[in-house]
Amino acid sequence: MRAYVEAFGCTLNFGESREIEDLLASKGWSIVQSPEDADLAVLSTCVVVEKTERAMVKRLAELRTVPKLIVTGCMATACREKAERVVPGAVFVNPGDLERMAEVIRTESRFSSPSKVERESYGIVPIATGCLGSCSYCITRLARGELKSRPLESIVGSVRDMVSAGPREIRLTAQDTAAYGADIGSSLPALVDGICGIPHDFRLRVGMMNPKNVLPKLRLVTSMYLQPKVFKFLHLPLQSASDRILNEMDRGYTFADFKRIVAEARAMCPAISFSTDLIVGYPGETEDDHEMNLRAISETEPDIVNVTKFSSRPGTKAAMSEPKVVGWKAKDWSREITDLRFRVAMERNRTWIGRTVAALSTEKGKKGSMIFRTDEYRQVVVKGVHQLGGFHIVRVTDATATYLRGELEDAD
């Protein structure tokens, strides 16, 4: 029997999809790369914005030719009725419910000879599903519910198995990694300590953190980046630099709080890479609020800014909020922020030209190149084919706004 697994959206979805592949393989399913070759398809969906939801509806329709379809991810709970109209014969499994997924897979399995899943040079480990927040615009919170953390020992065991099998980059993922453990008497710093105790040479990337849940344990969280195995990379969504808009969003922090976290992280690790997110065109946003966002980028100098135009999602508080921002205005604001963010990133990346750094080869690039990651998780593109998962010395020769270019100073 052959199975096809496809994921959209966040890293958490991709991590859960890998766990689903492992479940299928343990029951004897061969994982194929095309739905046309599959007896069973699993689609891990995303509905974070309306545009993505429309793409999911289209993809569901395309997968109707597969004999058996399982739908999971956020659409399986937040927009199930809409999905059922497209694929009435599909089986729906709530996101993160691996126990139910295992039951469905067991029912569909005809034999149980385990197979092997080929992996890339990095592993994705979901550490929790759900969150502690109640953000006014977020449909993911409605889809995934309250925080449910995996036991620390289970996560450490998963990472140990992964690095023993080969991957040298491990990505911890959740809706909010900073919330990890609040429901089970543990914490993210404790988890990172446990993982870093594994006796293998690997690197750990900690995923997105809500500033609200970083603040109570700020020093403990920023101290994680002193661990040699932890990438010096902070993904801290701001969403808006306007305290008024942050309050409307129910985010639970101020711009000053956000700046405090960034300053503490940079004091701990001056070269740390810093990524943030902004929502543009939130109901009631004004030109003054937009100017605050521009000043925030200039002031904090993030390396990456993910800009998303506000999308009204059914069932959320923000869907009822007024006044709406007209589409052309949100588009203009988004363009201005993106232009500024690239200028800031370009200037920051140029400071790396001429440096010699340690880097890990993580992915195959385009046109016969390889992608390396520095300890600060900066992307360095190196020409030639090199062994995945290898640690090398790289000299940075050039820079763009999104990545560095370099040459190996040592041989494979």
Which CATH number is 2-108 given? Answer: 3.40.50.360
The CATH number of domain 356-408, selected from 2.60.120.10, 3.30.450.40, 2.40.50.140, 3.30.420.40: 2.40.50.140
Domain positions in the chain are: 2-108, 122-350, 356-408
The 10s digit of each residue's pLDDT in 165-224 is: 888 999 999 999 999 999 999 999 999 999 999 999 999 999 999 999 999 999 999 999
Q: Is 384 left (phi over 0), alpha (psi -120 to 50) or beta?
A: left
The 10s digit of each residue's pLDDT in 116-130 is: 555 567 899 999 999
- What's the pLDDT at 1? 86
Enclosing H/E stretch for 50: helix 50-62
Q: Is 145 left (phi over 0), alpha (psi -120 to 50) or beta?
A: left
Preceding omega of 314 cis (within 30 degrees of 0): no
Q: Is 250 left (phi over 0), alpha (psi -120 to 50) or beta?
A: left
- β-strand pairing of 304-309 with 273-280: parallel
Please tell me the least confidently modeled range out of 51-60, 99-108, 224-233. 99-108
The 10s digit of each residue's pLDDT in 142-160 is: 999 999 999 999 999 999 9
Give, as one character, the DSSP assignment of residue 29. Answer: P
Superfamily of 122-350 according to CATH:
tm_1862 like domain (3.80.30.20)
Write out 355-377 in H/E/C secondary structure. CEEEEEEEEECCCCEEEEEECCC
- What's the pLDDT at 114? 56
* pTM of the predicted structure, to 2 decimals: 0.90
Helical H runs in 145-279? Answer: 152-165, 188-196, 211-214, 218-223, 243-249, 255-268
Q: Rounded mean pLDDT of 230-240? A: 98
The 10s digit of each residue's pLDDT in 4-34 is: 999 999 999 999 999 999 999 988 899 999 9
Name the 3-class secondary structure at 324. coil
The 10s digit of each residue's pLDDT in 360-382 is: 999 999 889 999 999 999 999 99
